[in-house]
Amino acid sequence: MNPLNSPVEVGVRALVLLLEAFPERLDVAQLVYLDYAMLHSAELGGPTSLHPELPAGPGELGMRRRLMEQGLQVIIRAGLADLHTTDAGFFYVATEEASSFVDVLEASYVQRLVERAEWITTTYSTHGNDVRDAMKQITARWSTRFAASAAAEGADA
């Protein structure tokens, strides 16, 4: 089992985001965007990123939904999050046990996740900014880079 981006790791990251957003409920798409923003916060003008920028950024974002769904299953089975269904879709929320669980995690990585999650929720909840708009800007930047790279390779051929 790969310890990086495992369902347990992604579940802990989702739990940190759900705790910071509490009592707001988040859907999978929001969690995918917020997870990316938490790990790559510098790309959004925030604190230093926790993970390095990868040339395969678009692929990473595409895989993240499946990983997030697996992570959410882990934390739901552990009783740390609940799934709510509404007319608008499926939404996740942290349970009362979630805060105690995250509080006992002593790894500095978890503390840095909490700091970035606080920054994200402050930036995107209280200032009227939409993390989805920010992610659209990032994907547009990836598209521009890809087009420039393809053009450069075409010029070399």
Tens-digit pLDDT string for the chain (157 aa): 566 789 999 999 999 999 999 999 999 988 998 998 899 899 888 999 998 877 666 667 778 889 999 999 999 999 999 999 999 999 999 999 999 999 999 999 999 999 999 998 888 765 556 677 777 777 787 778 778 877 887 776 6
By the 8 A CB rule, do 90 and 83 touch?
A: yes
- Give the span between the Cα atoms of 5 and 67, in whole angstroms: 7
Buried b (16+ CB within 10 A) or exposed e, 8-46: ebbbbbbbbbbbbbbeebbebebbbbbbbbbbbbebbeb
Q: What is the pLDDT of residue 125?
A: 66
pLDDT of residue 85: 96
Nearby residues of 150 by Cβ (< 8 Å), 6 or more positions away: none
Are 49 and 42 in contact by the 8 Å Cβ rule? The answer is yes
pLDDT of residue 148: 81
Residue 4 has a pLDDT of 75
